[in-house]
A and B are shown apart, each in its own frame.
Chain A
Amino acid sequence: MSELQSSLLLKKQLAELNKNPVEGFSAGLIDDNDIFRWEVLIIGPPDTLYEGGFFKAHLYFPKEYPLRPPRMKFVTEIWHPNIEKNGDVCISILHEPGDDKWGYEKASERWLPVHTVETILISVISMLADPNDESPANVDAAKEWREAYPEFKRKVARCVRKSQEECS
């Protein structure tokens, strides 16, 4: 898979997402001349604490995509057990197979070259609705989510409000 093929594959996905937008997010490029760096806007999923929020995130694709996964980072502040305080998303499908640092992810839950921007974002949106308690990236958020839910809710609500202000 050459860099040219990688960029063609990403261009194809961008064109497809522009033509047939997927519910729950919108996608574009950070810089129109760089197909390897995307900016997405995730709409806080309905019936979750994140409802009403607009969360901006960046996806950084390696030149070896789709053999290797992109990195994803929230730019909008977000409080979630599986998102680091600096915004880095920690989700098993973005981890390379064989790269099981923590030793509990099944190979089937990790990166596969069939993943697209759409499948990645669908996983991230479902992660927002349903945090994975086993692999917290933000330990404080995970602890609150388990033991001090009202405080967790308050922090998420603050992020949602802030995201609305940034977007307007």
Chain B
Amino acid sequence: MGNCLKRSAADDISLLRGGNEPTRESSADPLGPPLYSEIIQPVFYPSPSVSRPASHLTEEEQVKIAKRIGLIQHLPIGSYDGCSKKSRECVICMVEFSVEEAVRYLPCMHIYHVSCIDDWLMRSLTCPSCMEPVDAALLTTYETT
């Protein structure tokens, strides 16, 4: 029970990006297969300043992160249409959006590159532009629809 985040294959954030991040292995030990603990695991941030490899998370932190991943997956992704009313660049990486590029919409309607905002949301569930808490806003939309 509660170990669903222990292995990198299951529920990690790479699912959000199409799972194209290869699991790298430590090449430190030429004498035999690397120990489990030496395999490079995805790192999670139960709080923004706390980083822990997946296998070192407490059960409570695993639940928190699983919930967060679930919530992020519920945020819609659209393709940027170049509409002049929307912001023209991603304020996280300061790179302009190109037409048809995948952008994530937060409940406050601010848009970001999917990878830029997902990395941030895994640390803090707030919109970097207006500081609206994403989880609360999402719950409100559920209640009103």
Contacts and interface: CB of A to CB of B under 8 A. Distances in A.
A67 B123 CA distance: 8
A113 B48 CA distance: 12
Interface stretch (B8-16, B26-34, B91-99): B91-99
B47 A114 contact: no
Interface residues on B, range: 10 to 19
Interface stretch (A52-60, A74-82, A91-99): A91-99
Interface string A85-113: 00000000000111100000001100111
Interface residues of A, number: 20
A99 B131 CA distance: 16
A12 interface: yes
Contacts of A98: 47-49, 123-124
A107 B48 contact: no
A52 B115 CA distance: 44
B129 interface: yes
A99 B92 contact: no
Most buried by B among A108, A111, A112: A112
Interface in B103-145: 115-116, 119-120, 123-124, 126, 128-129, 131, 133
B116 A1 contact: yes
A107 B133 CA distance: 9
Nearest to A5: B93
A168 B69 CA distance: 55
Contact of B128 (A1, A5, A68, A113): A113
Contacts, number: 53
Contacts of B48: 68, 96-99, 111
A3 B47 CA distance: 21
Contacts of B123: 67, 96-98
Contacts of B91: 114
B131 A112 contact: yes
A113 B120 contact: yes
A67 B119 contact: yes
Contacts of A22: none
Interface in B61-88: none
Interface of A: 1, 5, 8-9, 12-13, 66-68, 96-99, 107-108, 111-114, 116
Given A68-B48, A98-B47, 5 more contacts: A68-B49, A97-B48, A107-B126, A113-B92, A116-B94
